[in-house]
Amino acid sequence: MTTHDLRSELDDPLTLSHDECVQLLRGAPWQRLAVMGDSFAAGLGDPSQGYAQVPWPQRISAALGSGNPDFGYLNTGVKGKRTGAVRAEQLDQVLAFRPDLVNVAAGGNDLFDAEPDLDGVEADLDAMYTALRGQGADIFTFTVTNVFESVPELSLFRDRTAALNDRIRAVARRHDAVLVEMWSHPVRLRPNLMSADGIHFAMEGHAALAAEIVKALGAHVARFADS
């Protein structure tokens, strides 16, 4: 039996418990969370033995909303949506919700084109960030993880994904978004990271992603508290 076979969410060094997440986000100002985008936003993923069947968006919502019955959460993520469709079909709904914290998870489906229009992806992301920031919302985002050593059959997409991450970073910098770097995260090497489709994280990956998001948001809160 391997070490991985014995691991669970309770003793995984790459995850945080719900209570740890709540503690790290104590004092956070956000009252309305929106998550928009594609299947990564929707939280698709297979079960992982020893891990709760709770996708990353619900983990973040649960931590931020702990003890706050007035906390609001909206998830408009839809599988298969390209960035332009996310902008066209979800942005108005999210703006109407008037969130103060938003994640935009989009761009991956655009990479299935033979020649992905990354300029268009960046322009759509930029337009969404501009509208959201115009309402006063904070934004957090994350880069796509380099899983291509573990899933070599997807190696065609490695360079495209790296290029997409460059666009995500650029938009995040322009809009002062909280950026969670997942490209080289150690979870990428875990043998059971991916769902059966080879595209989405299983719950083990969702738990690790949620932990990194909480750490980044917690650090953001601490910086403002100290300023």
Least confident span in 102-106, 131-135, 172-176, 187-191:
187-191
Closest CA to 208 of 192, 187, 226, 225: 187
CB count in 10 Å sphere of residue 49: 13
Q: How far is CA 117 from CA 79, 91, 105, 107, 123, in A?
A: 19, 20, 17, 10, 10
The mean per-residue pLDDT over the stretch 158-175 comes to 97
pLDDT of residue 4 exceeding 60: no
Instruction: Check if the beta carbon of residue 25 is closer than 8 Å to that of residue 217.
Output: yes
| Burial of residue 189 (number of CB atoms within 10 Å: 0-12, 13-18, 19+) | exposed
Residue 13 lies in a domain: no
Per-residue pLDDT band for 2 (boundaries 50, 70, 90) equals very low
Helix/strand/coil for 74? strand
The pLDDT assigned to 5 comes to 52
What is the per-residue pLDDT across 150-161, written as a single tens digit (0 to 9) for each? 788 888 899 999
Per-residue pLDDT band for 227 (boundaries 50, 70, 90) equals low
Per-residue pLDDT band for 6 (boundaries 50, 70, 90) equals low
Full domain range(s) for residue 186? 18-226
Residue 11 lies in a domain: no
The pLDDT assigned to 152 comes to 82
The pLDDT assigned to 63 comes to 98
CATH of the domain at 167: 3.40.50.1110
What is the per-residue pLDDT across 85-119, written as a single tens digit (0 to 9) for each? 999 999 999 999 999 999 999 999 999 999 999 99
Residue 141 lies in a domain: yes
What is the per-residue pLDDT across 200-217, written as a single tens digit (0 to 9) for each? 999 999 999 999 999 999
Residue 12 lies in a domain: no
Domain count, the chain: 1
Q: Which residues have CB under 8 Å from 151's CB, separation 6+?
A: 194, 198
Half-sphere exposure of 13 (CA within 13 A, CB side): 6
Residue 26 lies in a domain: yes
The mean per-residue pLDDT over the stretch 63-89 comes to 97
Q: What is the DSSP string of 133-158?
A: HHTT-EEEEEPPP--TTT-GGGGGGH
Instruction: Check if the beta carbon of residue 128 is closer than 8 Å to that of residue 104.
Output: yes
Q: How far apart are CA 24 and CA 36, in angstroms?
A: 24
pLDDT of residue 70 exceeding 70: yes
pTM confidence score: 0.95
Residue 119 lies in a domain: yes
CB count in 10 Å sphere of residue 191: 8
Percent of the chain scored above 90 by pLDDT? 89
Residue 96 lies in a domain: yes
Quote the strand ranges of the chain, DSSP E: 32-37, 72-75, 101-105, 138-142, 178-180
Residue 188 lies in a domain: yes
The pLDDT assigned to 214 comes to 98
